[in-house]
Structure formats: C-alpha cells, structure tokens
Structure 1
Amino acid sequence: MAESVLLQQFAKAPEPGRVKTRMLPRLSAAEACALHSELVLWTCETLLDSRLGNVELWVAGDPSAGLFGECASRGPLSLCRQVGDDLGSRMRHALNDGLNRADRVLLVGSDCPALTGRYLQQALAALDTAEMVLGPALDGGYVLIGARRPVDAVFDGVSWGSSSVLGETMARAGAAGISVAQLLALQDVDRPDDLPHWQGLRQRGRVRR
C-alpha cells in the first residue's frame, strides 16, 4: 500500500502592521499586507498543484479571514489553527498532529515563492533514507521541514527569526541522533532586497510541476 503524504502550510491572518513588518517602510503597512496575501495564495496553489498529498492550511490569527476562504476556493484543503507559544512549539504540534494521520509530513511557510512541486518531490524522496528533511533558506533559516517520525528535539531552544536557525536545528538533530537530509537553499521574500526576486518570479509565472 502506498504511503500517505500530508502537506502543511503555515500562514498568518492578513493584518496590516502585523505581517511582513520587515518590509516597512519600503512598503506601507497595507502594501506589505497585500504582499503577504499574494505569497500565501501562491504557496497554497503550489501545494495543491503538486497533487502529492492532502493539503492543510495552519493559520495564526482569525481563521475566518477572507484570504483563507480564497485559499480554500483554489482546491481541497483543511483549515487548522496553530497551537503553541512560539514558532517552534507551533511547528512541533502541527508535524506531530500530521504524523498521527500520515506516513510523511512536509511543513512549509508562506514566504518562499521559489518552492515548486519538484522541490516537494525531492523532499519526500529524501525521507526514503533520512528521518527528517530540511529545505534551507539563504538567510540562515529554512523554508521546509519534513519528517516521517516525531522530531521534537529540533524545535527546542532555537533562536527563531535569526540567521542561526538552520545551524541550531542541525545541531539539535545531531545531538538527538536524528538523521537529516538537506535540499538546495532557496530564497525567502522577507526584506526589501528580496522584492526583485518575487517580481521576477511573478513575471516568469509559476512552475506548475
């Protein structure tokens, strides 16, 4: 029997002044919020288009926000609430929840439009031999984490939002004896200098597979 796959996306409710704040003042709060919404939709469509497994949108903030309804209109997905006091605890909860229902779980944020279906396929393939897979970000974090068993240790004591997230995560995995595969690094869209990257992707169009 084929193994089941679950794709999870983390997204914040679109509230001006509370999302994409590192884009300020290059963008206004409203423009930064619009950018956030575009990236959430782009990522959601990438997951749905990949057809690799069921898709879940894990939201922080108001789950009734119109953005999340727009995501649901793009294809079949489940809406879930993020649970936890910090990013690490929220990701740990979502992954563990998913692993109760699927053999392999991939969790992504909504800040990396360079993510493609092929990249997701590579992540799943890496789990053939590794217990955990990471998709590094060029800024020192990661854009994807996947697992085929609970990997709780990698979420504890990490300096979330810093350039040392990937290194700290790898160190914690090593200390816990968790085998890890790393994919090629991708660029997030977090800061004003990242905007040309996003504009270029929009002009070229989505890589569908």
Structure 2
Amino acid sequence: MSTKNSDCLIIFTRNPELGKGKRRLAATVGDQAALEIYSFLLEHTRKITKDLPLTKQVWYSEQVHQNDAWDAIIYDKDVQKGEDLGLRMENAFKTAFENHDHVIIIGSDMYDMNQADLEKAFQQLETHDAVIGPAIDGGYYLLGFTKKLVAGVFVNKEWGTETVLEKTLQDLKNVNYATLDARNDVDYYEDIKDIPVFQPFLKHI
C-alpha cells in the first residue's frame, strides 16, 4: 500500500518465464540458466529496494502476480502499457506523477546497484530537474525526474542499443540534471562471466 510521500520508485520487471526474457544472455548460457540468473537479479532488486522509505511500484511486463515474491504490503503493482519500452516508461511516469513529485525508474537486472545508489539518486532530485545513471554499454540503468518529464525523452530511441544514453543526454541538455556513476548491467554472458557471484549459474559452460 502506498504511503503519502513525495518520492516514488518505479521498478520495471519481466514476468520470469522459461524461454522469455534475457534472450541475449540465454544465447550463450541457455534458457534455464538465464531464468535462474534473472530470478537471482530480481531477488537482488528486492533486497536493495524493500527498505527504502518511499512509494515503490512494480510494473510487470505481462500481468500482475499478486502472491509472488514482491510483497504487496511493500510494493504497489501494475502492468506496463504501451507498444514499446519508451511508451511503457512514459505511461508509468505519468501515473506516478499524479501523486509524487520525485519519480525514478529502474530495471530489475542491476546487480551492480545498491540501496545507497538509489538514496543518492533521490537526493539529487531535491536540487535537480532530472537524474540519470549511465550504463557501461551505452544505455542507462536509472532515470528520474522532478514533477514532470522532459519532452521527447522516451521517443525516437532504438531501445537496447548503445545509442540510448547519448540521445537521452541530448534530450536533457536544456535542464539541470545530475549524473550518477556508471554501472554494468546484465545483458550478455560477458557481463557476468568474471563476477564470482554468478559462477554457480555458469558451471555448465
């Protein structure tokens, strides 16, 4: 249930299902390992978000699961709406801005992010119009705004490519925005092959 506060965290997640999601990773590690890795990343996302004293919303890719590991007492739940990722994010932001002044969106596959990163991001929105967390692969792992979206930020992007960050920064050039430290997200085998915590999922390779 939402508490009344000015801050809202949107978490975009895929419904974990064998053979769906993390396709670029699955191409190397296989469908079963990709699902296990994604489930591990979901648990990490819950761990770093559950204690944040703000409204937390989980937006599912396909359908809401009421009795899953996302505790409905801690997390509000909704379904993403829109024909592409940009429209889905825009719709989620517009919904959140109906009740909150500071809204940040993250994915659910960032092992390289922790609770302190999220706290810092919301702190930045106290004095900035926007905040962005660059991903090493040329995308972003976090994006947030104060009171309203910056026009155009979710259109004319080739989602999932290395051009997303550059084009988004162009959209932000006329507003006062803060940049977080760059982080590594998990899309490919190469992103995790040298990280010890992922080794149990990669023994078959």
Q: TM-score range by the shorter chain?
A: 0.7 to 0.9
Letter matched to residue 98 of structure 1:
A
Equivalent residue for 1:96?
A: 94
Alignment root-mean-square deviation, CA: 2.2
Under a length normalisation based on structure 2, what TM-score does the superposition of the two structures give? 0.87
Residues 189 and 198 in structure 1, CA contact (< 8 A), matched pair in contact too: no
Under a length normalisation based on structure 1, what TM-score does the superposition of the two structures give? 0.85
Deviations 1:74-114 (A, max 9, x none): x6111111111111111111112111111211110011112
Residues 15 and 63 in structure 2, CA contact (< 8 A), matched pair in contact too: yes
Asked whether 1:15 is paired with 2:10, we answer: no
Asked whether 1:180 is paired with 2:182, we answer: no
1:70, distance to aligned residue in structure 2 (A):
1.2
Equivalent residue for 1:63?
A: 64
CA distance in 2 between counterparts of 1:198 and 1:81 reads: 32
Asked whether 1:163 is paired with 2:165, we answer: no
Letter matched to residue 146 of structure 2:
R
Higher alpha-carbon deviation: 8-17 or 56-65: 56-65
Equivalent residue for 1:27?
A: 29
CA distance in 1 between counterparts of 2:36 and 2:66 reads: 13
Q: Determine which of 43, 46, 52 is the counterpart of 1:44.
A: 46
- Amino-acid identity (%): 28
Equivalent residue for 1:206?
A: none
1:52, distance to aligned residue in structure 2 (A):
3.2
Deviations 1:179-201 (A, max 9, x none): 22111001101110112465448
Tell me which protein shows more helix as a share of its residues.
1
Distance change (3 Å), C-alpha of 1:81 and 1:185: same
Letter matched to residue 142 of structure 1:
Y
Higher alpha-carbon deviation: 104-113 or 22-31: 22-31
CA distance in 2 between counterparts of 1:62 and 1:89 reads: 17
Count the aligned residue pairs.
Answer: 196
